[in-house]
A and B are shown apart, each in its own frame.
Chain A
Amino acid sequence: MADALLDVNGLGKRFGGFVALDGIDLTVAKGERLGLIGPNGSGKSTLVNCLCGTLQNETGAVVFKGKPLDGLIAHERTRLGLARSFQLPKPFHSLSLADNIRIPLLYTVNARHGHHLSDAAIAERCEELLSHVNLADKARHRPRDLTQVEMRKLELARAVATQPTLLFADEAMAGLSHSEIEEILALLMRLNDEGITIVLIEHIMSAVMSFSTRLVVLVAGHKIADALPQEAIRNPEVEKAYLGE
Protein backbone atom coordinates (compact mmCIF):
# COMPACT_ATOMS: atom_id res chain seq x y z
CA MET A 1 0.00 0.00 0.00
CA ALA A 2 1.49 3.29 -1.02
CA ASP A 3 0.19 5.38 1.80
CA ALA A 4 0.30 2.83 4.60
CA LEU A 5 1.44 4.20 7.92
CA LEU A 6 3.48 1.11 8.70
CA ASP A 7 4.71 -1.28 6.04
CA VAL A 8 6.39 -4.49 7.12
CA ASN A 9 7.96 -6.76 4.52
CA GLY A 10 9.33 -10.22 5.16
CA LEU A 11 10.33 -9.61 8.76
CA GLY A 12 12.26 -12.50 10.27
CA LYS A 13 13.77 -13.09 13.71
CA ARG A 14 15.59 -16.11 15.12
CA PHE A 15 16.94 -16.93 18.54
CA GLY A 16 19.76 -19.34 17.87
CA GLY A 17 18.09 -22.23 16.11
CA PHE A 18 14.58 -21.20 17.04
CA VAL A 19 12.65 -19.23 14.39
CA ALA A 20 10.45 -16.78 16.26
CA LEU A 21 9.19 -14.89 13.23
CA ASP A 22 9.19 -16.18 9.67
CA GLY A 23 8.76 -13.66 6.88
CA ILE A 24 5.97 -11.51 8.32
CA ASP A 25 4.23 -9.13 5.94
CA LEU A 26 1.96 -6.54 7.48
CA THR A 27 0.54 -3.13 6.72
CA VAL A 28 -1.19 -0.73 9.05
CA ALA A 29 -3.21 2.16 7.65
CA LYS A 30 -3.58 5.48 9.39
CA GLY A 31 -6.41 5.58 11.89
CA GLU A 32 -6.89 1.81 11.95
CA ARG A 33 -7.56 -0.28 14.99
CA LEU A 34 -5.62 -3.44 14.29
CA GLY A 35 -6.02 -6.49 16.50
CA LEU A 36 -3.08 -8.88 16.73
CA ILE A 37 -3.82 -12.26 18.23
CA GLY A 38 -2.25 -15.67 18.46
CA PRO A 39 -1.51 -18.44 20.94
CA ASN A 40 1.25 -18.08 23.51
CA GLY A 41 4.67 -18.16 21.95
CA SER A 42 3.39 -17.28 18.50
CA GLY A 43 5.69 -14.30 18.28
CA LYS A 44 3.40 -11.37 18.97
CA SER A 45 5.63 -9.67 21.51
CA THR A 46 8.71 -10.50 19.47
CA LEU A 47 7.10 -8.71 16.54
CA VAL A 48 6.38 -5.64 18.63
CA ASN A 49 9.92 -5.70 20.01
CA CYS A 50 11.39 -5.86 16.50
CA LEU A 51 9.18 -3.08 15.18
CA CYS A 52 9.94 -0.81 18.13
CA GLY A 53 13.66 -1.46 18.04
CA THR A 54 14.07 -3.32 21.31
CA LEU A 55 15.16 -6.36 19.32
CA GLN A 56 16.85 -6.43 15.97
CA ASN A 57 15.29 -8.42 13.16
CA GLU A 58 17.61 -10.32 10.86
CA THR A 59 15.61 -10.08 7.68
CA GLY A 60 12.91 -7.86 6.32
CA ALA A 61 12.28 -4.17 5.82
CA VAL A 62 10.10 -1.93 7.90
CA VAL A 63 8.92 1.44 6.63
CA PHE A 64 7.13 3.88 8.89
CA LYS A 65 5.63 7.12 7.56
CA GLY A 66 7.63 6.53 4.41
CA LYS A 67 10.93 6.24 6.31
CA PRO A 68 12.87 2.97 6.49
CA LEU A 69 13.46 2.02 10.12
CA ASP A 70 16.52 -0.09 9.39
CA GLY A 71 19.34 0.85 11.73
CA LEU A 72 17.26 3.08 13.97
CA ILE A 73 17.36 2.18 17.62
CA ALA A 74 14.42 2.22 19.97
CA HIS A 75 14.49 5.81 21.18
CA GLU A 76 14.87 7.09 17.62
CA ARG A 77 11.78 5.13 16.56
CA THR A 78 9.86 6.50 19.50
CA ARG A 79 10.79 10.01 18.42
CA LEU A 80 9.48 9.23 14.95
CA GLY A 81 6.10 8.45 16.46
CA LEU A 82 6.12 4.73 17.21
CA ALA A 83 5.18 4.04 20.82
CA ARG A 84 4.48 0.94 22.85
CA SER A 85 3.32 -0.10 26.25
CA PHE A 86 4.93 -3.13 27.84
CA GLN A 87 3.17 -6.38 28.57
CA LEU A 88 4.45 -6.37 32.14
CA PRO A 89 4.32 -2.72 33.16
CA LYS A 90 7.76 -1.20 33.49
CA PRO A 91 7.33 2.03 35.41
CA PHE A 92 10.22 4.06 36.74
CA HIS A 93 9.69 2.92 40.28
CA SER A 94 11.85 5.48 42.07
CA LEU A 95 10.12 8.40 40.34
CA SER A 96 6.73 9.88 41.05
CA LEU A 97 3.91 9.35 38.55
CA ALA A 98 4.32 12.91 37.36
CA ASP A 99 8.02 12.33 36.74
CA ASN A 100 7.23 9.10 34.94
CA ILE A 101 5.20 11.16 32.47
CA ARG A 102 7.79 13.91 32.40
CA ILE A 103 10.46 11.62 30.94
CA PRO A 104 8.75 11.08 27.58
CA LEU A 105 7.81 14.75 27.44
CA LEU A 106 11.39 15.84 28.01
CA TYR A 107 13.05 13.22 25.90
CA THR A 108 10.65 12.55 23.05
CA VAL A 109 8.37 15.55 22.57
CA ASN A 110 11.04 18.11 23.33
CA ALA A 111 13.54 16.30 21.17
CA ARG A 112 11.47 16.71 18.03
CA HIS A 113 12.04 19.59 15.67
CA GLY A 114 9.87 22.58 16.25
CA HIS A 115 8.54 21.42 19.55
CA HIS A 116 9.72 22.88 22.71
CA LEU A 117 7.59 22.73 25.80
CA SER A 118 8.53 25.05 28.60
CA ASP A 119 8.75 23.72 32.14
CA ALA A 120 5.35 25.14 32.89
CA ALA A 121 3.83 23.58 29.79
CA ILE A 122 5.37 20.24 30.73
CA ALA A 123 3.93 20.34 34.21
CA GLU A 124 0.53 21.16 32.74
CA ARG A 125 0.79 18.36 30.21
CA CYS A 126 1.71 15.87 32.96
CA GLU A 127 -1.40 16.74 34.89
CA GLU A 128 -3.52 16.57 31.79
CA LEU A 129 -2.25 13.14 30.78
CA LEU A 130 -2.66 11.77 34.28
CA SER A 131 -6.21 13.06 34.57
CA HIS A 132 -7.09 11.42 31.24
CA VAL A 133 -6.39 8.12 33.00
CA ASN A 134 -7.85 9.21 36.33
CA LEU A 135 -4.51 9.21 38.09
CA ALA A 136 -4.11 12.97 38.63
CA ASP A 137 -4.68 12.68 42.38
CA LYS A 138 -1.78 10.26 42.66
CA ALA A 139 0.65 12.42 40.73
CA ARG A 140 3.09 12.67 43.66
CA HIS A 141 2.91 8.96 44.50
CA ARG A 142 5.29 6.21 43.47
CA PRO A 143 4.28 3.38 41.17
CA ARG A 144 4.40 0.89 44.03
CA ASP A 145 1.27 2.51 45.47
CA LEU A 146 -0.75 1.69 42.40
CA THR A 147 -3.19 -1.15 41.77
CA GLN A 148 -2.79 -3.47 38.79
CA VAL A 149 -5.16 -1.59 36.53
CA GLU A 150 -3.67 1.74 37.58
CA MET A 151 -0.23 0.47 36.59
CA ARG A 152 -1.58 -0.47 33.19
CA LYS A 153 -3.08 2.97 32.82
CA LEU A 154 0.19 4.61 33.79
CA GLU A 155 1.95 2.45 31.26
CA LEU A 156 -0.45 3.62 28.54
CA ALA A 157 -0.32 7.24 29.69
CA ARG A 158 3.45 7.19 29.47
CA ALA A 159 3.31 5.82 25.94
CA VAL A 160 0.70 8.40 24.96
CA ALA A 161 2.88 11.17 26.40
CA THR A 162 5.30 10.60 23.54
CA GLN A 163 2.61 11.94 21.18
CA PRO A 164 2.72 8.85 19.02
CA THR A 165 1.24 8.34 15.60
CA LEU A 166 1.09 4.58 16.14
CA LEU A 167 0.68 2.88 19.49
CA PHE A 168 1.28 -0.80 20.25
CA ALA A 169 -0.77 -1.78 23.28
CA ASP A 170 0.83 -5.05 24.36
CA GLU A 171 -1.56 -7.16 26.42
CA ALA A 172 -2.64 -4.19 28.47
CA MET A 173 -5.66 -6.05 29.79
CA ALA A 174 -4.29 -9.35 30.99
CA GLY A 175 -5.54 -10.33 34.41
CA LEU A 176 -8.01 -7.49 34.75
CA SER A 177 -11.62 -7.67 35.78
CA HIS A 178 -14.46 -7.12 33.35
CA SER A 179 -15.07 -3.51 34.30
CA GLU A 180 -11.35 -2.77 34.26
CA ILE A 181 -11.13 -4.17 30.75
CA GLU A 182 -13.96 -1.88 29.73
CA GLU A 183 -12.06 1.03 31.20
CA ILE A 184 -8.92 0.31 29.21
CA LEU A 185 -10.90 -0.31 26.02
CA ALA A 186 -12.71 3.00 26.41
CA LEU A 187 -9.36 4.72 26.89
CA LEU A 188 -7.96 3.13 23.74
CA MET A 189 -11.06 4.02 21.74
CA ARG A 190 -10.77 7.61 22.81
CA LEU A 191 -7.12 7.69 21.83
CA ASN A 192 -8.07 6.32 18.43
CA ASP A 193 -10.76 9.00 18.06
CA GLU A 194 -8.07 11.57 18.76
CA GLY A 195 -6.12 10.27 15.81
CA ILE A 196 -3.72 7.65 17.17
CA THR A 197 -3.48 4.46 15.15
CA ILE A 198 -3.62 1.52 17.52
CA VAL A 199 -2.37 -2.04 17.31
CA LEU A 200 -3.95 -4.07 20.07
CA ILE A 201 -2.13 -7.25 21.06
CA GLU A 202 -4.46 -9.25 23.20
CA HIS A 203 -5.69 -12.64 24.33
CA ILE A 204 -9.10 -11.53 25.49
CA MET A 205 -11.19 -12.32 22.43
CA SER A 206 -14.25 -10.28 23.34
CA ALA A 207 -12.14 -7.16 23.71
CA VAL A 208 -10.27 -7.74 20.47
CA MET A 209 -13.41 -8.48 18.49
CA SER A 210 -15.27 -5.40 19.70
CA PHE A 211 -12.30 -3.09 19.30
CA SER A 212 -10.60 -4.05 16.04
CA THR A 213 -11.38 -2.88 12.53
CA ARG A 214 -9.05 -5.58 11.21
CA LEU A 215 -7.58 -8.74 12.69
CA VAL A 216 -4.19 -10.34 12.14
CA VAL A 217 -3.52 -13.83 13.48
CA LEU A 218 -0.03 -15.09 14.25
CA VAL A 219 0.76 -18.76 14.88
CA ALA A 220 4.27 -20.12 15.48
CA GLY A 221 5.87 -17.12 13.83
CA HIS A 222 3.67 -17.17 10.72
CA LYS A 223 0.83 -14.88 9.78
CA ILE A 224 -2.09 -17.13 9.02
CA ALA A 225 -4.90 -14.61 8.71
CA ASP A 226 -5.30 -10.91 7.93
CA ALA A 227 -8.90 -9.84 7.39
CA LEU A 228 -11.98 -8.30 8.93
CA PRO A 229 -12.44 -9.71 12.42
CA GLN A 230 -15.52 -11.79 11.64
CA GLU A 231 -13.85 -13.31 8.61
CA ALA A 232 -10.55 -13.95 10.30
CA ILE A 233 -11.95 -16.04 13.10
CA ARG A 234 -13.89 -18.19 10.70
CA ASN A 235 -10.67 -19.06 8.88
CA PRO A 236 -10.22 -22.82 9.35
CA GLU A 237 -6.54 -22.47 10.21
CA VAL A 238 -7.35 -19.99 12.96
CA GLU A 239 -9.95 -22.35 14.35
CA LYS A 240 -7.42 -25.14 14.29
CA ALA A 241 -4.85 -23.05 16.12
CA TYR A 242 -7.20 -22.11 18.90
CA LEU A 243 -9.42 -25.11 19.23
CA GLY A 244 -7.16 -27.91 18.10
CA GLU A 245 -7.88 -30.47 15.38
Chain B
Amino acid sequence: MFTNLFLNAIVAGVLLGGFYAAVSVGVTIAFGMLDIANIAAPAFILLGSYVAYIVNSNFGVDPIAIGVVATPLFFLLGMAVYRLYYFAFERRGEQAIQGLAFFFGLLYVGEVSLTLIFGVDYRFVTAPYIGPSFHIGSIEVPWRMLVPCVFSLIMVGLVQLYLSRSFIGRAILAVSQDPGALQLMAASPTRIKQIAFGISIATCSVAGAFLIVIQQVEPSIGRDYIGRIFAICVLGGMTSMPGMLLAAVLLGVVENLTSTFYGPSWSPAVAFGLLLVTLAVRPSGLLGRQ
Protein backbone atom coordinates (compact mmCIF):
# COMPACT_ATOMS: atom_id res chain seq x y z
CA MET B 1 0.00 0.00 0.00
CA PHE B 2 2.78 2.38 0.95
CA THR B 3 4.91 1.34 -2.00
CA ASN B 4 1.95 1.92 -4.26
CA LEU B 5 1.45 5.42 -2.93
CA PHE B 6 5.17 6.08 -3.09
CA LEU B 7 5.53 4.88 -6.68
CA ASN B 8 2.53 6.87 -7.82
CA ALA B 9 3.88 9.95 -6.11
CA ILE B 10 7.25 9.53 -7.84
CA VAL B 11 5.75 9.01 -11.27
CA ALA B 12 3.43 11.98 -10.86
CA GLY B 13 6.40 13.97 -9.57
CA VAL B 14 8.48 13.17 -12.64
CA LEU B 15 5.63 14.18 -14.96
CA LEU B 16 5.19 17.36 -12.94
CA GLY B 17 8.90 17.98 -13.19
CA GLY B 18 8.75 17.73 -16.95
CA PHE B 19 6.12 20.43 -16.93
CA TYR B 20 8.17 22.55 -14.52
CA ALA B 21 10.98 22.49 -17.08
CA ALA B 22 8.72 24.24 -19.60
CA VAL B 23 7.88 26.82 -16.99
CA SER B 24 11.54 27.49 -16.16
CA VAL B 25 13.19 27.48 -19.56
CA GLY B 26 12.21 31.11 -20.14
CA VAL B 27 13.84 32.31 -16.95
CA THR B 28 16.90 30.17 -17.60
CA ILE B 29 17.39 32.15 -20.79
CA ALA B 30 16.52 35.53 -19.27
CA PHE B 31 18.30 35.22 -15.97
CA GLY B 32 20.91 32.61 -16.67
CA MET B 33 22.05 33.96 -20.02
CA LEU B 34 21.01 37.60 -20.14
CA ASP B 35 21.31 38.33 -16.44
CA ILE B 36 17.82 39.78 -16.38
CA ALA B 37 15.99 38.68 -13.25
CA ASN B 38 12.55 38.40 -14.78
CA ILE B 39 10.51 37.79 -11.67
CA ALA B 40 7.44 38.66 -13.69
CA ALA B 41 7.68 35.36 -15.58
CA PRO B 42 4.67 33.85 -13.75
CA ALA B 43 2.54 36.76 -14.95
CA PHE B 44 3.41 35.96 -18.57
CA ILE B 45 2.75 32.29 -18.01
CA LEU B 46 -0.64 33.01 -16.51
CA LEU B 47 -1.34 35.25 -19.46
CA GLY B 48 -0.67 32.25 -21.65
CA SER B 49 -3.07 30.21 -19.53
CA TYR B 50 -5.84 32.75 -19.83
CA VAL B 51 -5.33 33.14 -23.58
CA ALA B 52 -5.68 29.37 -23.88
CA TYR B 53 -8.77 29.53 -21.69
CA ILE B 54 -10.50 32.23 -23.75
CA VAL B 55 -9.93 30.56 -27.11
CA ASN B 56 -10.64 27.09 -25.79
CA SER B 57 -13.87 28.00 -24.03
CA ASN B 58 -15.17 30.02 -26.95
CA PHE B 59 -13.98 28.01 -29.91
CA GLY B 60 -13.09 24.65 -28.51
CA VAL B 61 -9.57 24.65 -29.93
CA ASP B 62 -7.04 22.41 -28.21
CA PRO B 63 -5.26 24.45 -25.50
CA ILE B 64 -1.74 23.32 -26.33
CA ALA B 65 -2.31 24.14 -29.97
CA ILE B 66 -3.42 27.61 -28.88
CA GLY B 67 -0.27 27.96 -26.82
CA VAL B 68 1.89 27.10 -29.78
CA VAL B 69 0.03 29.35 -32.21
CA ALA B 70 0.25 32.25 -29.80
CA THR B 71 4.04 32.06 -29.49
CA PRO B 72 4.76 34.69 -32.19
CA LEU B 73 2.57 37.16 -30.29
CA PHE B 74 4.34 36.44 -27.04
CA PHE B 75 7.66 36.70 -28.85
CA LEU B 76 6.78 40.22 -29.97
CA LEU B 77 5.59 41.03 -26.46
CA GLY B 78 8.89 39.82 -25.07
CA MET B 79 10.86 41.96 -27.50
CA ALA B 80 8.76 44.98 -26.55
CA VAL B 81 9.30 44.39 -22.84
CA TYR B 82 13.05 44.06 -23.40
CA ARG B 83 13.05 47.29 -25.39
CA LEU B 84 11.44 49.07 -22.47
CA TYR B 85 13.78 47.45 -19.98
CA TYR B 86 16.80 48.38 -22.06
CA PHE B 87 15.66 51.96 -22.57
CA ALA B 88 14.92 52.44 -18.90
CA PHE B 89 17.67 50.51 -17.19
CA GLU B 90 20.37 48.69 -19.03
CA ARG B 91 21.33 51.60 -21.16
CA ARG B 92 21.65 53.92 -18.21
CA GLY B 93 23.43 51.33 -16.13
CA GLU B 94 20.98 51.95 -13.32
CA GLN B 95 21.31 50.10 -10.11
CA ALA B 96 19.80 46.69 -10.03
CA ILE B 97 17.12 47.78 -7.60
CA GLN B 98 15.13 49.66 -10.19
CA GLY B 99 15.20 46.82 -12.68
CA LEU B 100 13.92 44.48 -10.00
CA ALA B 101 11.24 46.93 -8.96
CA PHE B 102 10.16 47.16 -12.60
CA PHE B 103 9.61 43.42 -12.92
CA PHE B 104 8.02 43.24 -9.52
CA GLY B 105 5.61 45.94 -10.66
CA LEU B 106 4.88 43.96 -13.83
CA LEU B 107 4.25 40.77 -11.87
CA TYR B 108 1.94 42.57 -9.56
CA VAL B 109 0.07 44.58 -12.18
CA GLY B 110 -0.31 41.36 -14.18
CA GLU B 111 -1.90 39.51 -11.32
CA VAL B 112 -4.20 42.36 -10.36
CA SER B 113 -5.28 42.97 -13.96
CA LEU B 114 -6.16 39.32 -14.43
CA THR B 115 -8.12 39.43 -11.18
CA LEU B 116 -10.05 42.48 -12.27
CA ILE B 117 -10.85 41.00 -15.68
CA PHE B 118 -11.48 37.38 -14.80
CA GLY B 119 -12.16 37.44 -11.09
CA VAL B 120 -10.81 34.93 -8.59
CA ASP B 121 -12.82 31.95 -9.79
CA TYR B 122 -10.87 28.99 -11.00
CA ARG B 123 -10.78 28.58 -14.77
CA PHE B 124 -10.17 25.42 -16.68
CA VAL B 125 -9.97 24.14 -20.24
CA THR B 126 -11.42 21.05 -21.85
CA ALA B 127 -9.60 18.59 -24.06
CA PRO B 128 -9.93 14.87 -24.73
CA TYR B 129 -6.84 14.07 -22.69
CA ILE B 130 -8.00 15.93 -19.61
CA GLY B 131 -9.68 13.45 -17.38
CA PRO B 132 -8.75 9.94 -18.43
CA SER B 133 -5.67 8.07 -17.25
CA PHE B 134 -4.09 4.77 -18.10
CA HIS B 135 -2.45 2.28 -15.82
CA ILE B 136 0.93 0.62 -15.79
CA GLY B 137 0.49 -2.06 -13.20
CA SER B 138 -0.70 -0.27 -10.10
CA ILE B 139 0.60 3.10 -11.23
CA GLU B 140 -1.90 5.57 -12.55
CA VAL B 141 -0.73 7.92 -15.28
CA PRO B 142 -3.14 10.75 -16.00
CA TRP B 143 -3.08 11.84 -19.65
CA ARG B 144 -3.39 15.45 -18.64
CA MET B 145 -0.01 15.19 -16.92
CA LEU B 146 1.69 13.05 -19.54
CA VAL B 147 0.80 15.12 -22.59
CA PRO B 148 2.20 18.44 -21.28
CA CYS B 149 5.25 16.64 -19.94
CA VAL B 150 6.05 15.14 -23.34
CA PHE B 151 5.46 18.38 -25.21
CA SER B 152 7.47 20.22 -22.60
CA LEU B 153 10.47 18.00 -23.18
CA ILE B 154 10.06 18.54 -26.92
CA MET B 155 9.96 22.29 -26.41
CA VAL B 156 13.02 22.33 -24.16
CA GLY B 157 14.83 20.13 -26.65
CA LEU B 158 13.96 22.46 -29.52
CA VAL B 159 15.17 25.48 -27.57
CA GLN B 160 18.42 23.75 -26.71
CA LEU B 161 18.87 22.74 -30.36
CA TYR B 162 18.25 26.28 -31.51
CA LEU B 163 20.70 27.71 -29.03
CA SER B 164 23.45 25.33 -29.94
CA ARG B 165 22.98 25.06 -33.71
CA SER B 166 21.53 28.19 -35.21
CA PHE B 167 23.57 31.34 -35.78
CA ILE B 168 21.37 33.53 -33.61
CA GLY B 169 21.19 30.85 -30.96
CA ARG B 170 24.93 30.64 -30.71
CA ALA B 171 25.13 34.43 -30.70
CA ILE B 172 22.84 34.36 -27.68
CA LEU B 173 25.16 31.96 -25.90
CA ALA B 174 28.09 34.16 -26.88
CA VAL B 175 26.44 37.31 -25.60
CA SER B 176 25.81 35.68 -22.29
CA GLN B 177 29.49 35.04 -21.89
CA ASP B 178 31.12 38.03 -23.48
CA PRO B 179 29.10 40.88 -24.96
CA GLY B 180 32.28 42.68 -25.91
CA ALA B 181 33.49 39.95 -28.22
CA LEU B 182 30.16 39.97 -30.00
CA GLN B 183 30.45 43.64 -30.78
CA LEU B 184 33.77 42.98 -32.40
CA MET B 185 32.00 40.55 -34.72
CA ALA B 186 29.67 43.35 -35.80
CA ALA B 187 26.59 41.69 -34.36
CA SER B 188 24.63 43.96 -32.08
CA PRO B 189 24.39 42.56 -28.56
CA THR B 190 21.23 44.52 -27.93
CA ARG B 191 19.45 42.98 -30.89
CA ILE B 192 20.57 39.53 -29.87
CA LYS B 193 19.40 40.07 -26.30
CA GLN B 194 16.10 41.35 -27.59
CA ILE B 195 15.56 38.18 -29.59
CA ALA B 196 16.62 36.05 -26.64
CA PHE B 197 14.21 37.75 -24.31
CA GLY B 198 11.51 37.42 -26.93
CA ILE B 199 12.12 33.68 -27.04
CA SER B 200 12.06 33.53 -23.26
CA ILE B 201 8.59 35.11 -23.17
CA ALA B 202 7.41 33.05 -26.14
CA THR B 203 8.00 29.89 -24.11
CA CYS B 204 5.58 31.30 -21.52
CA SER B 205 2.76 31.05 -24.01
CA VAL B 206 3.15 27.31 -24.29
CA ALA B 207 4.00 26.85 -20.61
CA GLY B 208 0.80 28.69 -19.73
CA ALA B 209 -1.19 26.33 -21.90
CA PHE B 210 0.43 23.36 -20.15
CA LEU B 211 -0.41 24.89 -16.82
CA ILE B 212 -4.11 25.22 -17.43
CA VAL B 213 -4.21 21.69 -18.80
CA ILE B 214 -2.62 20.31 -15.64
CA GLN B 215 -4.59 22.34 -13.15
CA GLN B 216 -7.28 24.93 -12.85
CA VAL B 217 -5.92 28.45 -12.66
CA GLU B 218 -6.72 31.68 -10.90
CA PRO B 219 -4.57 34.81 -10.84
CA SER B 220 -2.81 34.37 -7.51
CA ILE B 221 -1.24 30.97 -8.24
CA GLY B 222 1.51 32.83 -10.06
CA ARG B 223 3.14 33.60 -6.74
CA ASP B 224 3.79 29.94 -6.01
CA TYR B 225 5.64 29.68 -9.28
CA ILE B 226 8.23 32.36 -8.59
CA GLY B 227 9.87 30.17 -6.03
CA ARG B 228 9.67 27.08 -8.20
CA ILE B 229 11.09 28.79 -11.25
CA PHE B 230 14.03 30.37 -9.49
CA ALA B 231 14.69 27.31 -7.39
CA ILE B 232 14.94 25.29 -10.59
CA CYS B 233 17.04 27.91 -12.32
CA VAL B 234 19.55 28.20 -9.48
CA LEU B 235 19.62 24.50 -8.68
CA GLY B 236 20.11 23.80 -12.37
CA GLY B 237 23.21 25.96 -12.49
CA MET B 238 21.65 28.96 -14.23
CA THR B 239 22.71 28.39 -17.82
CA SER B 240 22.56 24.68 -18.32
CA MET B 241 19.47 23.20 -19.94
CA PRO B 242 20.25 19.66 -18.85
CA GLY B 243 20.88 20.97 -15.33
CA MET B 244 17.57 22.77 -15.39
CA LEU B 245 15.76 19.65 -16.52
CA LEU B 246 17.31 17.63 -13.74
CA ALA B 247 16.43 20.27 -11.18
CA ALA B 248 12.86 20.49 -12.48
CA VAL B 249 12.29 16.78 -12.16
CA LEU B 250 13.90 16.74 -8.72
CA LEU B 251 11.64 19.53 -7.54
CA GLY B 252 8.58 17.85 -9.00
CA VAL B 253 9.33 14.61 -7.22
CA VAL B 254 10.17 16.17 -3.85
CA GLU B 255 7.13 18.41 -3.99
CA ASN B 256 4.82 15.59 -4.88
CA LEU B 257 6.18 13.30 -2.20
CA THR B 258 5.73 16.06 0.38
CA SER B 259 2.23 16.68 -0.82
CA THR B 260 1.28 13.02 -0.74
CA PHE B 261 2.68 12.24 2.68
CA TYR B 262 2.40 15.54 4.53
CA GLY B 263 -0.48 17.22 2.82
CA PRO B 264 -0.77 19.73 -0.01
CA SER B 265 -0.67 22.76 2.25
CA TRP B 266 3.06 22.26 2.63
CA SER B 267 4.01 22.15 -1.02
CA PRO B 268 4.52 25.90 -1.66
CA ALA B 269 7.17 25.84 1.02
CA VAL B 270 9.10 23.03 -0.64
CA ALA B 271 10.28 25.00 -3.63
CA PHE B 272 11.09 28.08 -1.67
CA GLY B 273 12.71 26.15 1.12
CA LEU B 274 14.84 24.34 -1.44
CA LEU B 275 15.75 27.67 -3.01
CA LEU B 276 16.83 29.18 0.30
CA VAL B 277 18.90 26.14 1.14
CA THR B 278 20.52 26.08 -2.32
CA LEU B 279 21.39 29.76 -2.16
CA ALA B 280 22.91 29.28 1.24
CA VAL B 281 24.83 26.14 0.54
CA ARG B 282 25.59 25.64 -3.13
CA PRO B 283 24.70 28.66 -5.23
CA SER B 284 26.35 27.22 -8.31
CA GLY B 285 23.67 24.59 -8.57
CA LEU B 286 23.64 20.86 -9.04
CA LEU B 287 25.84 20.57 -12.07
CA GLY B 288 27.95 23.56 -11.06
CA ARG B 289 28.74 26.58 -13.12
CA GLN B 290 32.37 27.32 -12.38
The reply to whether A and B meet directly (CB within 8 Å) is yes
Q: Which residue of A lies closest to B290 (CB)?
A: A16
Q: Give the docked Cα–Cα distance between A56 and B289 (Å).
A: 17
B289 CB contacts on chain A under 8 angstroms: 16
Write the B63-81 contact mask toward A (1 if CB under 8 angstroms, else 0). 0000000000000000000
Interface size class of A (residues with CB under 8 A): under 10
Which A-chain residue is minimally distant from B93 (CB atoms)? A93
In Å, the complex CA distance between A15 and B289 comes to 10
- CA of A16 to CA of B290 in the docked complex: distance in angstroms? 5
Cβ of A16: which chain B residues have Cβ within 8 Å of it? 289-290
- A residues 1-26 in Cβ contact with B at 8 Å: 15-16
| Closest chain B residue to A94, Cβ basis | B95
Q: Report the minimum CB–CB distance from B239 to chain A (whole Å).
A: 12
Q: Is the interface of B mostly helix, strand, loop or mixed?
A: loop
Minimum CB–CB distance from B283 to chain A (whole Å) comes to 15
Q: Which residue of B lies closest to A18 (CB)?
A: B290
Minimum CB distance partner of A16 in chain B: B290
Chain A hits for B290, CB < 8 A: 15-16
Taking the nearest CB of chain B, how far is it from the CB of A169, in angstroms? Answer: 24
Using an 8 Å CB-CB cutoff, how does the interface string of B262-290 with A read, 1 for contact, 0 for none?
A: 00000000000000000000000000011
B149, chain A: closest CB distance, angstroms? 32
* A15 contacts across to B, CB distance below 8 A: 290
Measured CB to CB, the closest approach of chain B to A175, in angstroms, equals 16
- Quick one: which of B126-165 are within 8 Å of A by CB? none
Interface mask (A134-172 → B, CB under 8 Å = 1, otherwise 0): 000000000000000000000000000000000000000
B173 to chain A, nearest CB (A): 16
A16 vs B287: C-alpha distance when bound (angstroms): 12
Shortest Cβ distance from B154 into chain A, in angstroms?
A: 31
**Residue in chain B with minimal CB distance to A15:** B290
CB of A10 to closest CB in B, whole Å? 21
Give, as a whole number of angstroms, the nearest-CB distance from B150 to chain A: 34
CB distance from B183 to the nearest CB of A (A): 17
A17 and chain B: residue at smallest CB distance = B290
With A and B bound together, what is the CA distance between A16 and B289 in angstroms? 8
CB distance from B289 to the nearest CB of A (A): 8
Please report the C-alpha to C-alpha distance between residue A69 and residue B28 in the assembled complex, in whole angstroms: 38
Smallest CB separation, B97 vs chain A (Å): 12
Complex Cα–Cα for A86 and B289 (A): 26
Closest chain-B Cβ to A151's Cβ sits at a distance in Å of: 15
Question: Which residue of A has the minimal Cβ distance to B289?
Answer: A16
CB distance from A49 to the nearest CB of B (A): 15
Q: Mark A115-143, 1 if CB is under 8 A from B, else 0.
A: 00000000000000000000000000000
Flag A15-49 by CB within 8 Å of B: 1 or 0 each. 11000000000000000000000000000000000
Nearest-neighbour CB distance to chain B for A95, whole angstroms, equals 14
Q: How far is the CB of A105 from chain B (nearest CB, A)?
A: 25
Name the residue on B nearest A14 (C-beta). Answer: B290
Docked complex Cα distance between A224 and B290 (Å): 27
Once bound together, how far apart are the Cα atoms of A16 and B239, in whole Å?
Answer: 15
Cα of A15 to Cα of B177 in the assembled complex, Å: 14
A162 vs B155: C-alpha distance in the bound complex, in angstroms? Answer: 55
A-B contact pairs, 3 of them (CB 8 A): A15-B290, A16-B289, A16-B290
Binding site for A on B (CB under 8 A): 289-290
Q: Interface on A for B, CB 8 Å cutoff?
A: 15-16
Q: Which 3 A-B pairs have the closest CB atoms?
A: A16-B290, A15-B290, A16-B289
